[in-house]
């Protein structure tokens, strides 16, 4: 076999590095093993769902990916070469990992627009004193951030409520504002923790459409933790299945839903 030369790319050169990957993650709380040697890969532009029965470790995995939990073993790598496990959450967010939460983490007394502007904070150069004195570049910077945010507001079709206080909005719209706030951070990957929980069918269909749009129109790869199997099977490109902290299956929706190991894990939950 010929050795690879500078003019002959190797297979590794041709395969794009994953947007985000986890290698050998283990995490325990006392005697509870929340994650055991879990590996996963989020490919560029894909929508990857993480599913599993209650207590399987889905939220723990998401928390390790975003730095909320620090795994005792393993590492998380962004864009093929940036090791982010061990970094504080705000640094991980600044590097482009953005998330939405179970429920929402919005300021209910503030307007939709102001909540989304908070998502721009990590991109602002202006400090508080400069903002107070309103120096000229502060004004220019604010205009640029406003334009960016208005574009997201249009994209998520929340223009009519942009000046409304978040506390007055229904749950479906709040979740859309939460998604807008996450997008305002200009993420390179987006992680969503149970976005459909507590929604009616119409709200679920709306949000599913916007999630697909984020992936398709903005090219942002997404990890979604979700209990609603109909939604997962409909929108996911691939699925990772956890049970008792271990990865028990991985593949396309068709592969995973036909996997006897997965069926057994879910039947075990029902009985
Ligand atoms: N902060 C914590 N302290 C102690 N135990 C925890 C903590 N977080 C998670 N666990 C435990 O780790 C295990 C995995 O929990 P995790 O919340 O990650 O599962 P999950 O798959 O997201 O569950 P669910 O679908 O019910 O939200 C569970 O046994 C849980 O009780």
Domains within the chain, CATH numbers bracketed: 17-96+188-271 (3.40.50.300), 104-186 (3.40.50.300)
- Residue 130 has a pLDDT of 53
Strand ranges, E, within the chain: 20-29, 32-42, 47-51, 73-78, 82-83, 97-100, 189-193, 222-225, 238-243, 246-251
Ligand 1-lining residues (CB < 6 angstroms): 29, 32, 34, 52, 54-60
Residue with the bigger pLDDT between 141 and 246: it is: 246
The Cβ-side half-sphere exposure at 268, using a 13 Å CA radius, reads 13
Ligand 1 atom nearest residue 225's Cα: 22
Residue whose CB lies within 8 A of the most ligand 1 atoms, among 40, 52, 58, for a mutation test:
58
Say if residue 19's pLDDT is above 70.
Answer: yes
Residues 102, 91: Cα–Cα separation, whole Å: 21
Residue nearest to atom 29 of ligand 1 (CA): 55
Residue nearest to atom 17 of ligand 1 (CA): 59
Residues 271, 264: Cα–Cα separation, whole Å: 10
Sorting pLDDT into bands at 50, 70 and 90, what band is 16? Answer: confident
Could you give the C-alpha distances from 249 to 49, 52, 241, in angstroms and in order?
Answer: 12, 10, 5
Residue nearest to atom 24 of ligand 1 (CA): 54
What percentage of the chain carries pLDDT values higher than 70? 85
Query: Tell me: the pLDDT tens digits for 28-77?
Result: 999 899 999 999 999 998 999 999 999 999 999 999 999 999 999 999 99
The residue whose two tokens read 């627009």 is 113
Low-confidence winner among 88-102, 138-152, 177-191 (lowest mean pLDDT): 138-152
Residue nearest to atom 3 of ligand 1 (CA): 29
Per-chain mean pLDDT for the chain: 88
Query: Tell me: the pLDDT tens digits for 74-114?
Result: 999 999 999 999 899 989 999 999 999 877 788 999 999 99
- Residue 24 has a pLDDT of 97
């Amino acid at each position: 076999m010929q050795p690879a030369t500078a003019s002959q790319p190797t297979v590794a050169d041709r395969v794009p590095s994953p947007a985000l990957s986890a290698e050998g993650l283990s995490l325990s709380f006392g005697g509870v093993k929340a994650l055991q040697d879990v590996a996963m890969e989020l490919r560029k532009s894909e929508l990857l769902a993480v599913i599993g029965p209650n207590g399987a470790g889905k939220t723990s995995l998401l928390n390790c990916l975003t730095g909320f939990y620090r795994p005792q073993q393993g590492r998380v790598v962004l864009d093929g070469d940036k090791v982010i496990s061990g970094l504080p959450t705000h640094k991980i967010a600044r590097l482009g990992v953005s998330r939405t939460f179970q429920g929402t983490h919005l300021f209910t007394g503030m307007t939709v627009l102001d909540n989304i502007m908070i998502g721009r904070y990590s991109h602002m150069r202006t400090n508080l004193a400069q903002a107070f004195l309103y120096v000229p570049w502060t004004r220019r910077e604010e205009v640029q951030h406003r334009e960016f945010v208005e574009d997201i507001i249009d994209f998520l079709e929340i223009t009519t409520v942009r000046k409304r206080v978040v506390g007055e909005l229904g749950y479906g719209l709040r979740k859309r504002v939460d998604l807008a706030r996450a997008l305002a951070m200009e993420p390179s990957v987006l992680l969503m923790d149970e976005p459909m929980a507590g929604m009616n069918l119409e709200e679920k269909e709306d949000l599913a459409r916007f999630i697909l749009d984020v992936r398709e129109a903005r090219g942002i790869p997404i990890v979604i933790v979700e209990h609603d199997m109909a939604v997962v099977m409909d929108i996911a490109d691939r699925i990772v299945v956890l049970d008792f902290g271990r990865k028990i299956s991985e593949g396309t929706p068709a592969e995973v839903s036909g996997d006897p190991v997965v069926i057994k894990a879910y039947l075990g939950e029902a009985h």
